[in-house]
Every structure is written in structure tokens, then in C-alpha cells.
Amino acid sequence: MNQPILQAEHIQMTYQKGSDMSQAVLKDLSLTVAPGEFLTIMGPSGSGKSTLLNILSTLMKPTAGDVTINGRDILNMNDKDMANFRNHDMGFIFQNYNLIESLSVAENIGLPLNLQKVPTKLTRERVQKVSALLNIQDLLKKYPAQLSGGQQQRVGAARALVHEPALIFGDEPTGALDSQNAREMMQYLMQINQEKLISILMVTHDAFSASFASRILFLTDGEISGELIRGAKSREAFYQEILQALGNFDE
């Protein structure tokens, strides 16, 4: 088997609450993302999924454990290497889009490439290409505030994709979208995953969005409590399976 794109081992995260009280949010959690995999982590609020995503995506350091992405130990990197790593190997898609509203759509998408000092001409070409993929080529001159939520999220996806990272992280990417826009967004993400072979790791509490993934991990109280693999099933069948699994958890 290929070397995993992401490997997390024995992750623990404990928050200090006062002097002698502490709360364990993540308890000895391990997981791997295989190359080209679309992994979704599902769990109710308070299950620790946001904390897990923040740790895996280098935004937060765990109390204990190891995280390796693309063969590199991300917990022992200096600021500069870390920035460089985020810039080259990772892409982010956020629930609230996180576009910079003082920049036009084209500038927002091109920003990761600017940071890499990619020549301007090449940046333009790649922005064009990725926006064609996400069907936002007509919006390039507009500003985020002039776009609908669905459009903004597609711009966010384009920005996460433009530098062709090894792994894209999604933090509830459909959380602020209506069902129609959520469906479109997930279809785009699936397309990116299948055509560009970019791995995706996404957290969500929405079963519909989760059904586009190839594998689902359920997180309860800081521990992995279950796993579903789509395999050759249709998306609809997988969706039913997820709902059933969630029903079982509730009982």
C-alpha cells in the first residue's frame, strides 16, 4: 500500500479548566488518510471534530501525539517551514468562506500562488483554469460581497485548489449553504477528488454532505466510534446507510 498522505497517531488534546480541572477533548485518537481518499469525519457538536481538524491542519498543537502529512512531521516545524508547508501542500475550505473582501475574486484565488512567488502570467493561467473547473470564470472581477453564498464557497474551493495541494481540509464547507448549493458544492469537491486525485479531509455534521465521501469516521466524545466505507455503493445507498448508522448512535 502507498504511504498515507496523512497519518495521525495517539492524538490527545486536553484543555485546562482552572488549576486542577482538565477536560480531555480528544482521547488517544489515530487515523490515516490514503492518497486520493475523500475522508469525512462526522460527529455532533462538542464531539471534538473541530479541534481534530484544527490539529490535523496545523492550526493547533495537540497535548500529545504525532501528525505526519506527506511524510513530514508537522508538529515539529518552525513557523517559516509551517507557513511554507501550508502554502504548498495544503488547501482550506471554511464554513464561512473566509474570503478577503478587500480583494477581487481573481485576487483571492491567486493569493496562494502570489505567496509562492509564482510568475504573474502563470498565476493568471492557473486562476483561469481552476475557475473554469468550478464554473466561476464570469465572477473573477467581482468582489466577495457581490456574490451569493454558494458562489463564495466555490471561490473558496478554487483558492484551496489553485496551488494543487496534496490535501484539502474542509471545515463544514456546506454549513452555511442551502441544500441546492450544498449539493453543487459537494459535487465539485467529489470532482476535484476524482479528477485531480487530491485527497480531501472534511468534517461535517450533515449526513447528506458526508454521503459524497469515500469513507466516514464517526467521532463521539473524543473517540472514534465507528466507520463506514462507501465502496461500490451508490451515493443514495450510502446516504441511507449513514442515516441508519446515525440512528443507531442516537439510541
Q: With binding defined as CB under 8 A, does residue 123 bind other proteins? A: yes
Q: With binding defined as CB under 8 A, does residue 236 bind other proteins? A: no
Alpha-carbon span 138 to 54, nearest angstrom: 33
Q: Which stretches within the chain are classed as H helix?
A: 49-56, 79-89, 105-115, 120-133, 149-161, 179-195, 207-210, 235-250
Min dist CB 57 to other proteins, Å, is 8
Going by their DSSP bridges, the two strands 223-229 and 215-220 should be labelled as antiparallel
Q: Give the residue with the Cβ less far from other proteins, 113 or 217.
A: 113
Q: With binding defined as CB under 8 A, does residue 103 bind other proteins? A: yes
Min dist CB 179 to other proteins, Å, is 24
Q: With binding defined as CB under 8 A, does residue 117 bind other proteins? A: yes
Min dist CB 116 to other proteins, Å, is 8
What is the pattern of x (binds other proteins, CB under 8 A) and - over residues 60-99?
Answer: -------------------xx--xxxxxx-x-x-----xx
Q: What share of the chain is helix, strand, coil (3-state, %, to 5)?
A: 40, 25, 35
Alpha-carbon span 236 to 222, nearest angstrom: 29
Alpha-carbon span 174 to 94, nearest angstrom: 9
Q: With binding defined as CB under 8 A, does residue 102 bind other proteins? A: yes
Q: Tell me the CA distances in angstroms from 74 to 64, 131, 203, 244, one per residue in order.
A: 13, 30, 20, 36
Min dist CB 86 to other proteins, Å, is 4
State which of positions 26-65 bind other proteins (CB under 8 A).
Answer: 59
Find where cell 477581487 sits.
104
Return the closest-CA partner of residue 167 out of 28, 53, 25, 29: 53
Q: Give the residue with the Cβ less far from other proteins, 88 or 196.
A: 88
Interface ranges with other proteins (CB under 8 A): 59, 79-80, 83-88, 90, 92, 98-104, 107, 110-112, 114-115, 117, 120-121, 123, 143-146, 159
